[in-house]
Amino acid sequence: MKTICFYFQVHQPLRLRRYRFFDIGNDHYYYDDYTNESILRKIADRSYLPANKIMQGLIKEYGSRFKVAFSISGMALDQFELYAPEVIESFQKLAKTDSVEFLAETYSHSLVSLANPQEFKSQVDAHTQKIYDLFGRKPSVFRNTELIYSDEIGAQVGQLGFKAMITEGAKHVLGWKSPNYLYCNAINPRLKILLRNFKLSDDIAFRFSDQGWSEYPLTTERYVSWLNQMDPKEDNINVFMDYETFGEHQKAESGIFDFLKALPRTIFSRSRFHFATPSEVAERFQPVAAMNVPYPISWADEERDITAWLGNELQQSTFKRLYNLVDDVYRTNDKDILRDWKNLQTGDHFYYMSTKMFSDGAVHSYFNPYDGPYDAFINFNNVISDFALRVEKANTALYGDTEVDKLKINLAEKEALIKEYESLLNKSSLKPKLKVMATKKATTKGTKAPAKTTAKKTTAKKTVKAAAPKKTTAKKAAPKATAAKKTAAKKTTAKKVTAKKTTAKKTTARKTVAKKVVKKAAPKKAVKKAAKPAANGAK
């Protein structure tokens, strides 16, 4: 049995407002509500709602013989909730039937799969949860942003428990192979791979209303005749496209809705194809081979790679800048910051910075709020600057300046140590007669001493390093040293012990001093007593 699998992508980015540099640190609202609302409303009315209505009708007519899958990004869902809740309702209606499957993706429609596995997981989890909350289904098939895929990404997706993943049937990866079979991941063969048939997909998505196209106008009969030309051994055809194809990319006047309405009937009457959802395809067929994709592919542009988002230095540096923040962002545990973090990762922000638009105009400038890549770069980086400041501020408020804190603790320990020495020194000066009694002990401890001093050396070094960058600690260290000197002056032997501390900054000097102490420790018991706790304390 041959199957045809339709899947539609629904995504709208949360566009950023004009964010000038003088807003940095002053204004933390980044979004262009007016543009977002008006674009979303427009597309909902022109595309999502009428298309969903047709889907509903088709399901009513054909029942579970007609099947379709959707991937709706978290960004789109968030905006539907805000501006067009009836779109969610219409999807919920579809979700109640047996004909519709929802796919998982990253919540933000982000490029995180190329940056950070942990963050990737958390975004996928967030999206799965959102789909479950709204539609009562747990997705079992994953599709990454813009169908970005590589062996590693596939392996990660497999680990997250998905049984299949969707990507592009990129020519440079497939070579002579056909996209009309099921494949599996090269690292984890249990993850099935569905490949988009870009020819049959783009015939509808891009060329449908192109009057210069030799096949114009495209009828359902002609389209089905192409399906029938498929090699008899092949299993399944994947037709994947943006949902906005219906009514937005291809306007209603082009007859795209009529095409959509008529297609299932023609498929049933003129071919032997059955409809299937991605998870059904993954279950029904056996993978024919493993896909080897060492470098990431996507469904964008002629090259089918990731250069539309990370192709130039502007995009790469911004990408790096953004994902350098990831750990600090989570440390804040701040609701607003986490929300913005989610929104800022959307791939579209990087897409707008593409300099490919200089040559590859139309697609890249679609709904682009910017004048050009430079404009996009400046605006987005201004936003990130503000965002980074907020993250830093929030963390400082929560944890204080952690570096300083560590040093403060360090200082307190030293302070306690010095007091201990002082008390010991005082005791030993009061009881000089104990010397004779401890002669034997001194020799045994003399052998142990070198090991302890080396341990001390390393710890001492650490404190020196930590102290170096902060001037405040250096200042605090100074009075401590002088205090130590005063007490040390009381006894000549003790002087060397404390001298060791004051000169501790110079490791070479310290070593020689330390050796002297060890040497002299054997004959003089008072020193030995002082040296021992010193070693312990330094630990």
Partner 1 sequence: MKVLMFGWEFPPHISGGLGTACYGLTKGLSHISGTDIVFVVPKSFGDEDQNSVRLIGASEVEISEKLVNVEGFFKKIKLIEVGSNIVPYTDPEEYMKIVTAYAGKQVELINTQVKGKLKFTGKYGADLFQEIANYALVAIQIALENNFDVIHAHDWLTYPAGIAAHDISGKPLVVHVHATDFDRSGGNVNPSVYQIEKNGFEAADRIIAVSNLTRNTVIEKYGIAPEKVVTVYNAVEPISDEERLIAKRGINDKIVTFLGRITLQKGPEYFIEAAHRVLQRMDNVRFVMAGSGDMMRRMIRRAARLGITDKFHFTGFLRGDDVYQMFALSDVYVMPSISEPFGISPLEAMQSNVPVIISYQSGVSEILKHAIKVNFWDIDAMADAIYGLLNYPALSEFIRKYGKEEVDNLKWENSAIQVRQVYESVVSK
Q: Contact between 254 and partner 1 (CB under 8 A)?
A: no
| 335-342: Cβ within 8 A, 24+ apart | 336/28, 337/387, 337/390, 337/391, 337/394, 340/28, 340/30, 340/387, 341/387, 342/74, 342/107, 342/108, 342/123, 342/126
Q: Contact between 313 and partner 1 (CB under 8 A)?
A: yes
Single out the residue of 242, 328, 375, 420 in contact with partner 1 (rule: CB under 8 A).
375
- Work out how close the CB of 365 gets to partner 1 at its nearest, in angstroms, rounded to a whole number: 14
Q: Contact between 355 and partner 1 (CB under 8 A)?
A: yes
* DSSP code of residue 16: B
Single out the residue of 1, 20, 216, 401 in contact with partner 1 (rule: CB under 8 A).
20
Q: Contact between 216 and partner 1 (CB under 8 A)?
A: no
CB atoms within 10 A of CB 539: 9
Q: Contact between 383 and partner 1 (CB under 8 A)?
A: no
- Work out how close the CB of 309 gets to partner 1 at its nearest, in angstroms, rounded to a whole number: 15
Specify the amino acid at residue 202: D
Q: Which stretch binds partner 1 (CB under 8 A): 16-24, 98-106, 115-123, 264-272?
A: 16-24
CA–CA dist 527, 535 (Å, integer): 12
Q: Contact between 32 and partner 1 (CB under 8 A)?
A: no
CB of 115 or CB of 484, closer to partner 1:
115
Q: Which among 151, 163, 162, 431 has a CA at the least distance from the CA of 293?
A: 151
CB of 327 or CB of 371, closer to partner 1:
371
Is position 146 annotated as part of the catalytic site?
A: yes
Single out the residue of 61, 86, 221, 371 in contact with partner 1 (rule: CB under 8 A).
371
Q: Which positions from 97 through 136 interact with partner 1, judged by CB under 8 A?
A: none
Q: Contact between 317 and partner 1 (CB under 8 A)?
A: yes
CA–CA dist 298, 296 (Å, integer): 7
Single out the residue of 160, 252, 290, 378 in contact with partner 1 (rule: CB under 8 A).
378
- Work out how close the CB of 313 gets to partner 1 at its nearest, in angstroms, rounded to a whole number: 5
- Work out how close the CB of 450 gets to partner 1 at its nearest, in angstroms, rounded to a whole number: 51
Q: Which stretch binds partner 1 (CB under 8 A): 140-148, 303-311, 381-389, 447-455?
A: 381-389
Number of residues that bind partner 1 (CB under 8 A): 22
| 128-136: Cβ within 8 A, 24+ apart | 128/104, 130/74, 130/77, 131/72, 131/102, 131/104, 134/77, 134/88, 134/91, 134/92, 134/95, 135/91, 135/92, 135/95, 135/102, 136/95
- Work out how close the CB of 6 gets to partner 1 at its nearest, in angstroms, rounded to a whole number: 39
Residue 523: both structure tokens together? 């004959």
Q: Specify whether the CB–CB gap between 117 and 156 falls below 8 A.
A: yes
Q: Contact between 318 and partner 1 (CB under 8 A)?
A: yes
CB of 317 or CB of 333, closer to partner 1:
317
φ, ψ for residue 123 (rounded to 5)? Answer: -70, -40
Spot the catalytic one: 146, 168, 248, 280. Answer: 146
Q: Contact between 325 and partner 1 (CB under 8 A)?
A: no
How far does Cα 200 stand from its chain's mean position?
33
Q: Give me the residues that bind partner 1 (CB under 8 A), please.
A: 20-22, 24, 312-314, 316-318, 355, 358, 371-372, 374-375, 377-379, 381-382, 385
Q: Which residues are catalytic?
A: 146
